[in-house]
Amino acid sequence: MSSTTIRDIDEQLKARLRGEAAQHGRSLGVEARDSLRAALSTESIDLQRNLAESIRSRIEPLGGIDLELPPRDGFGKEWTSAHDRS
C-alpha cells in the first residue's frame, strides 16, 4: 500500500476525526481511511443516478398530494408566433 500525507487539515475537522476514531476504538489513520472509503463509495453510487432520481428518493418518503389542475384553454388549437401575425 502507498502512503499519503494530507496537509493543512482544518483543526475542527481533525478533532472531529480524532473523536470518531476514539469512539470506534481505532487509530486516526484507520479512521481516516475508513471515512475516505465510505465517502467515495457513496459518491460513486450517487453519480450513477440522475438528478430526478436523487430528488425523488429524498421526497418520496414524505408522501405526496393530489393537485387539481385547471383546464387548459386553447389546448389543441393551432399556435402562431408573433412573426406569423404580421
Give how many domains the chain has, as a whole number: 1
20-43 burial, b at 16+ Cβ within 10 Å, e below that, comes to: ebeeeeeeeeebbeeeeeeeeeee
Residue 63 in domain: no
Residues 17-46: what's their mean pLDDT? 84
Residue 1 in domain: no
Q: Which grid cell is 77?
A: 388549437
Residue 81 in domain: no
Which of residues 26 and 83 earns the better pLDDT score? 26
pLDDT, residue 16, reads 92
Task: Encode pLDDT of 50-66 as tens digits.
Answer: 788 878 888 888 887 77
Residue 86 in domain: no
Residue 45 in domain: yes
Q: Is the pLDDT of residue 46 over 60?
A: no
Residue 8 in domain: no
Could you tell me the pLDDT band of residue 86, with boundaries at 50, 70 and 90? low
Q: Which grid cell is 19?
A: 473523536
Q: Contact 32/17 with Cβ under 8 angstroms?
A: yes
Residue 11 in domain: no
Domain that holds residue 49: 27-56
The residue to which cell 481516516 is assigned: 32
